[in-house]
Every structure is written in C-alpha cells, then in structure tokens.
Amino acid sequence: MAMISFIMMAYNVEKYIADAIVELQKENEVKWELIIVDDFSTDSTFEVAKRFADGDERIKLVKNTSKGKVTGTNYGYSLTSGDIIKCIDSDDVLLQDFFREYENMKKYDAHCHSAFIADHKLNTRAIYNINPLLISKGFEFVLSNLVSFPKWSWSFSRKIAEKIFPMPETLPFEDVWIALTVKKYSKNVYVIDKPIYLYRQHDNQTFGGIINYSKEKVIFRAKRLLALMDVLENEPRVFKGFEKNIFDSARVYNRLMSKERLSVWDVLISELRAMAKFKIILIKKFPMLAKYATILKWKLDALLSKN
C-alpha cells in the first residue's frame, strides 16, 4: 500500500511520547500509519498513547508479545502495511520535512538522514551527521568495522524490510543489524542531506545518549557490541561468505573498551591501528574531550557528504 508505516517502541516515556505523536499528526498529505508497541511500561505511557489511538484511526496501539525492543519491533513490523518502513523512538520527534521527501524516497531501496541532538526539552545542542563511510565503502569494510547509523536515521522499502525482519531475537540491540542489512541488500540509498529529526538526550536512555561517554555507558556499549558479534556470526543474512576473523580487530577494540581499568600501555601494545588506539585513549581517559571531538567529526562528516 502506498504509504509510510512507522514503528514506535514505547517504554516508560509518559513525558515524551505525546511530542512524537503530535508532530506526526500534523501531516495530512502523505498517507501514514503509526504502530505503537508498548513494552510493558510501568508508568502511564500506554494510557497516553491510547488517547491518541482512540482519536486517530492512523494510530494502532498494541502491547508487546514479550519483553524487549527486538521482539517488539519484529511484532510492530508484522502489523505494517506501508511501502516504506521507518522506526521512530518514542522520546524523539520526526520533523515534517521528512514527508516532503516521500516522492524521492519511493525511487530508492533505503534512505537515511541526520538529526538535531536535543536536550530533554527539545532545545538543540548539536547536529548529528551520518558517517559517510557507510555509504561510500563496500560491505566488507562496513561489516568488519561495524559501521552503523542509529535505527531512527533509516527508512527503507518493503523489499529491504523483508530482509531485515524478523530480526534475530538474540540481538542485544537493533541498530547495527538494520544498518548491515540495508548496506548488503540495497542497490541505492537516498541520503537526505539535512537534519529532519530531533534526537532527545535524557537520563533514562538505555545507551545513555549518543554523546555520553561516561565510564559506565562506554563499558555497557562495548559489552553489547561483543555480544552482537557473536550473534552476527551465526546469521547468514549478513554473514554468509565471511570468516569469523573478520571481527578480530573489532573484538580487540571492544574488549579494551569494556575493561573497568585500562592503562594506556594496554592500548599501545595492542595490535590495533593507531587511529583506533587514539580513539580508545580519548574516550576512556578524556570523556569530555571525546564528546566535543565527536561533535567536530559530525561537522566534518557533513562537509564530506556534500563533496
């Protein structure tokens, strides 16, 4: 069916979910549907979402079949009908400019965009620009380096969605799986060269926010990535044709990142490339500096994407 299907996982976002829904409801030219999957919220998230669903036939609200974002996103996809699929985080806001790209998007297998990084009140703090390497490099490079965008930066045709879903239930998180599958199976990707999304930073985020380099979150993310590689190795949809040693460098990198205590010497004697060593030392020893270095990199990415 000619429309956009949005999948929105929701867990304890009673403060934020209305912002996400209200912005979508402003669109009345492009046909769309919103599938909200409540992931066993313990606050009033379900009740807030239900008020919207009861008053707008474009919105469908369901409870997850079992706890977890991967399970819920798979379930949400099974309920979609659109020709283009997009995941939206329930604490973020997709801006109206997205819909102005619909006619262009129909010509491509997948699409991606940058975002405004905002505080909990949606005040803009920085601009996240997509890593051009995922678009320009081949699949082997992207796989070996686990290059990805957040899942909210993607939308894709149903043809690509059928490759992505159902996602492996053992995935520790969804972003890299979606990025790898899009990269492997898309003949063309439409890059929307402007931020059309508000990515909200707040204290309750699982991964701590995109520029949070606190010790606890860095270790948490590294352990998740190590677990992810174990899953990917057993998934022929993305791994067929590759040997397990393709992840050797990524494993060394994330094992170092996952250490509670890490000396500079441990990093320097590793077999990683100089840039990877520098990145580990920067993030583990100088987290505030790493934050500003990341923001600077996004600005450089924006310049590279236009050249």
User: Closest Cα partner for 150 from 86, 239, 100?
Assistant: 86
Query: CA-to-CA distance for 221 and 223, rounded, in angstroms?
Result: 5
Query: CA-to-CA distance for 241 and 245, rounded, in angstroms?
Result: 12
Residue 160, both tokens: 């690509």
In CATH, the number for domain 4-200 is: 3.90.550.10
Per-residue pLDDT, 201: 86
Per-residue pLDDT, 212: 85
Per-residue pLDDT, 50: 98
Per-residue pLDDT, 206: 62
Per-residue pLDDT, 300: 80
Residue 21, both tokens: 């829904």
- Taking 70 as the pLDDT cut, the residues of the chain under it are 203-209, 304-307
- How open is the CA angle 186-191-193, to the nearest 5 degrees? 175
- Whether the CB-CB separation of 280 and 293 falls below 8 Å is answered with no
Per-residue pLDDT, 301: 74
User: What are the tens digits of pLDDT across the range 8-31?
Assistant: 999 999 999 999 999 999 999 999
* Domain spans of the chain, in order of start: 4-200, 215-305
Per-residue pLDDT, 99: 97
Per-residue pLDDT, 202: 75
User: Closest Cα partner for 10 from 56, 67, 54, 51?
Assistant: 67
Map 119-178 to HEC letters: CCCCCEEEEECCCHHHHHCCHHHHHHHCCCCCHHHEEEEHHHHHHHCCCCCCCCCCHHHH
User: What are the tens digits of pLDDT across the range 84-112?
Assistant: 999 999 999 999 999 999 999 999 999 99
- Whether the CB-CB separation of 159 and 109 falls below 8 Å is answered with yes
Residue 34, both tokens: 């919103």
